[in-house]
């Protein structure tokens, strides 16, 4: 099925008469991507796709930021998205829980399927969707409230009022984010008083408190020092198997350390998507190889 779709796409590209080189690159990328997908489908049947993109494009006004990508993100694994700045990886990540709704000029085409529904179906309840798909941002952004209120924010939105229940959720979330021991004595203090690394773990705990199925991480360590980065990476490792994690990162070592699968985006195209090992040791595409060896980006 994927193969037929890709042929259609190639045809279309031909019709629109895009510059030859680009069309060729896309064709190559698409075919390779299909191959790798086929490979994946043959080799491991254990994991089901959690998020499926079908010919999914994202536009800012007239500009096509993400171009007709097809990807199947496996459940309860860590998927890293890498690529140079402006390649559309963050844009794609933000679309998964429809954070792009905050940008008026942003619109999409194609399908992005989660739980057998198109995320961009007008009937989708965005609030419910965002509770199932949590997000951690590039810069730590705790609310200017106490640590307790930060973590309890999501559960309270869901209507949980019982103090004991909230306290339970807060403790569990903070334990899961490996910060309970550091903050258990000062839950009533303002979260902005913590260090950057601690704040980011608070944000992670805050996302976990809503009990999401998927965690989106948009360069979660780019504003942190190496030590704090290592702690977040350890944390991602611990969360593996319980959550589907999609992490956008500029740091290729980080992608190779934490992820099971890696997707390489370039200029809005999904160039290659494979097991992380394969991407970093034996990339099929020249662009990928150039990027991970540091020749550009």
Partner 1 sequence: MDIKSRSILDRSFTGFAIFAVILMVLSLIALLGPIIYNGLGAYIFDATIEHKKVLMDLFERGNKEELKAETEKTNTARQKLYSVMTEFEPELKEMIDKNPERGYALDSDYDDFKKTVYKLLGPKPGAKTPVMARDRFGATRWDKALTILNSITELPEWDYSSGIGVKTFKPRRDLYKGTKLEKAFDDYLTPSFLKQMLEPGWTFYYGFLTDQSYDAHFFGGVWPEVLGTIYLTFGSMLLAIPAGIIAAIYLVEYAGDTKLVSFIRSCIGTLAGVPSVVFGLFGLACFIGKDSIFSISENASVAAGCATLALLVLPTIIRATEEAIRSVPSSYREGSIGLGATKWECITKIILPSALPGILTGIVISMGRAAGETAPIIFTAAVSVGKAVNLDNIFSQPTPALPWNIYNLCTEHQEVDQIRYVQYGMVFTLVAIVLVLNLSAIYLRARVSKKLRG
Residues that bind partner 1 in the complex, under the rule CB under 8 A: 97, 99, 102, 104, 127-128, 130-131, 134-135, 137, 139, 141-145, 153-154, 157-158, 189-193, 203, 206-207, 210
Distance CA 219, CA 54 (A): 25
Shortest CB 246 distance to partner 1, Å: 14
Q: Shortest distance, CB of residue 212 to partner 1, whole angstroms?
A: 9
Q: In angstroms, rounded to a whole number, what is the distance separating the alpha carbons of residues 130 and 84?
A: 27
Decide if 201 contacts 207 (C-beta within 8 A).
no
In this structure, are residues 259 and 247 in contact, taking their beta carbons and an 8 Å threshold? yes
214/97 Cα distance (integer angstroms): 9
Give the shortest CB-116-to-partner 1 separation in angstroms.
20
Q: Which is nearer to partner 1, 129 or 178 (by Cβ)?
A: 129
- Closer to partner 1 by CB, 143 or 180: give it: 143
How big is the CA angle at 224 (ends 252 and 202), to the nearest 5 degrees? 115
CB of 73 to partner 1, least distance (A): 18
**How deeply is 16 buried, as exposed, middle or buried, from its count of CB atoms within 10 A (0-12, 13-18, 19+)?**
exposed
Greatest C-alpha distance within the chain: 65
- Taking the complex as a whole, how short is the minimal distance between the CB of residue 229 and partner 1, in angstroms? 19
Q: Tell me the residue ranges of DSSP E strands in the chain.
A: 49-60, 63-74, 78-82, 106-114, 117-118, 133-136, 214-218, 244-248, 261-266, 269-275
> In whole angstroms, how far apart are CA 26 and each of 112, 142, 270?
20, 40, 9
Least distance to partner 1 from the beta carbon of 119, Å?
A: 14
Nearer to partner 1, 86 or 193 (CB): 193
Q: Whose Cβ is closer to partner 1: residue 101's or residue 237's?
A: 101
Shortest Å, Cβ 157 to partner 1: 5
**Shorter beta-carbon distance to partner 1: residue 98 or 231:** 98
Which three-class secondary structure state does DSSP give residue 138?
Answer: coil
Which helix (H) or strand (E) covers residue 10, if one does? Answer: helix 2-16
Rounded to the nearest 10 degrees, what angle do helices 196-208 and 163-176 cross at?
Answer: 120
What is the DSSP annotation of 76-116? TSEEEEE-STTSSHHHHHHHHTTGGGGSTTEEEEEEEEETT
Closer residue to partner 1, CB minimum distance, 59 or 153: 153
Tell me how far, at minimum, the Cβ of 236 lies from partner 1, in Å.
18
Residue number with CB closer to partner 1 (7 or 190): 190
- Which residue, 35 or 165, has its beta carbon nearer to partner 1? 165
């Amino acid at each position: 099925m994927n193969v037929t779709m890709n042929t259609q796409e190639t045809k279309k590209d031909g019709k629109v008469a895009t510059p030859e080189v680009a069309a060729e690159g896309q064709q190559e990328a698409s075919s390779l991507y299909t191959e790798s997908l086929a490979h994946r489908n043959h080799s491991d049947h254990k994991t089901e796709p959690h998020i499926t993109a079908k010919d999914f494009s994202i536009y800012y006004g007239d500009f096509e930021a993400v171009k007709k990508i097809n990807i199947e993100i496996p459940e309860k694994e860590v998927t890293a998205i890498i690529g140079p700045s402006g390649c559309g990886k963050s844009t794609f990540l933000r679309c998964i829980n429809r954070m792009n709704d905050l940008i008026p000029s942003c619109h999409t085409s194609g399908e992005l399927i989660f739980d057998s529904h198109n995320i961009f179906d007008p009937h989708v309840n965005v609030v419910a969707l965002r509770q199932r798909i949590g997000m951690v941002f590039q810069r730590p952004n705790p609310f200017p409230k106490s640590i307790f209120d930060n973590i309890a924010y999501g559960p309270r939105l869901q209507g949980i009022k019982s103090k004991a229940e909230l306290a339970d959720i807060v403790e569990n979330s903070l334990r899961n984010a490996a910060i309970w021991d550091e903050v258990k004595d000062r839950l009533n203090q303002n979260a902005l008083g913590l260090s950057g690394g601690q704040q980011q773990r608070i944000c992670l705990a805050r996302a976990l408190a809503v009990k999401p199925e998927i965690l989106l991480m948009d360069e979660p360590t780019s504003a942190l020092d190496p030590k704090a980065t290592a702690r977040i990476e350890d944390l991602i490792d611990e969360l593996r198997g319980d959550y589907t994690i999609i992490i956008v990162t500029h740091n290729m070592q980080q992608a190779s350390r934490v992820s099971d699968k890696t997707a390489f985006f370039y200029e809005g195209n999904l160039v290659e998507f494979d097991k992380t090992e394969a991407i970093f040791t034996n990339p099929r595409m020249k662009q990928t190889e150039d990027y991970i060896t540091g020749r550009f980006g």
